[in-house]
Structure 1
Amino acid sequence: MHHNPILIENLSHTYPDGTPSLKGINLLIEANQRVALIGSNGSGKSTLQLHLNGIFLPQSGQIKIGQWLVNPENLTAIRNFVGLVFQNPDNQLFMPSVWEDVAFGPMNRGVKGKELELRVLEAMEAVNIDPKTYGSRNPDNLSGGEKKRVAIAGVLAMQPQVLVLDEPSAQLDPRSRRGLIKLLDTLSLTQLIATHDLDLAWELCDRTIILSQGEIVYDGETDRIMSDREFLEKHALEPPLSYSRPYCNLNDKPF
């Protein structure tokens, strides 16, 4: 039986102080889709992401991840299925060496010996980090881009089917950002990418979901929405640079 990786039905969430953060979210994400999740601060993006691996449990409505409802009994299965990559890799890297960081998740799940070694090697190769050069290095001494790759490798070593990334290009210099986009482009997993970086969304994701004050205000083709400057600005979003050249008229003579 084939299951969609993510099915959300009528999900609502209110913070303890009574502020609603999600209001009646309905969402279906299909296998191997790459979906951008955009919205200004306070739109509910992070809250939605934290529901996808059960850090938050649904207060009302339901979420199905693969074949499992998000509830306390299914958390282990769900956390194997969904890999969450946090915005700040320092929240994810805490072992004395890169190798131990990447091995941490699978080891915790009881993977050992040859199988563990293979998983770590494959995950490091997938993110283009050379195990020989980097395996024994302390993650604290890596650049922002390298840390981000190691954090992604640690999640890939768990062999998830869904990758949820929070602001993956934050704090990266242009070259690391370009490398990251190329990397995400090669991973054949379902990806939900929360980002303020609309150029990254435009390059990687055919589908874009815009959240505003806890509601989905757009769910459709990335191309269509990126050229709608007015709509983006209304929801406090900057159009991607690649699109924001409204003044070049093809008939203009070059200077």
Structure 2
Amino acid sequence: MHSISRFASRLALGTLLTAGTLAASSCGYVGYLIPLNPTSNSGRTLDHSAWDGLLKKYVDDQGMVNYKGLQQDSAALNAYLKTLGDNLPAKKSPADEKLAYWLNAYNAFTVQRIIRAYPVKSIKDLGGDKIFVNTVWDQDFIPLGGKRYTLNDIEHRIIRKQFDDNRIHYALVCAAMSCPRLRQEAYVGARVQEQLADQGRNFINNPQKNDLTPADKPTLSAIYSFYPKDFEKNGSTSIQDAVNRYAKQKIYPNAKLSYKEYNWSLNEQ
């Protein structure tokens, strides 16, 4: 996507998801309306320690990524991603184990897509301009359980459909400066709720992501405008309420919101 940002893409998706009907010629969009639930019959809990080690080695405390270093260590990343592909979440796994799996999968495959094309200035440069058809998020480069998936499949058809938790938007990282920080550790089922809360606190209180003053007219990350309905659930009644869940500087419940321009430059050290 060169002239069309993911901001417009997400708004378009929101319109489609609430429209209820699609023209026959819109077949490229239809898939994102259909939930997915890839699982295995295995009882194994996947070990994410290999991804954890890579994050600790190549991501700093601000979430900035050493893509050059990761590119040189791509064999380790590819080995972890093959393990993901060979070990889908067990059908009977706890929800938190599944959520950790899918958050790690989205972030790790995004990193892989970047280093395969590196050096690159923006993830948007890696795809076409047909929204939900041939953008980088629509490329089926993700092999899991013998099938191929897209980043949009993981985000929209799996995570957003299965897990009613708007904090996922603080954890999914699309390799851009305006994204949440890429965490320096892998998500794990036993701590994923704590990790999501920490991601929320970090994102909301980061002045580069959100300007919470003045309290009656804050300027928020465009992420909130991408999915306004998501931030009206999971215990929140509005975007303002979702922000105040973790904000140190509270905004007014009826605050007039504006949004920052999204910076798609690569989140590179």
TM-score of the two chains, using structure 1 as the length reference? 0.30
Larger Rg: 1
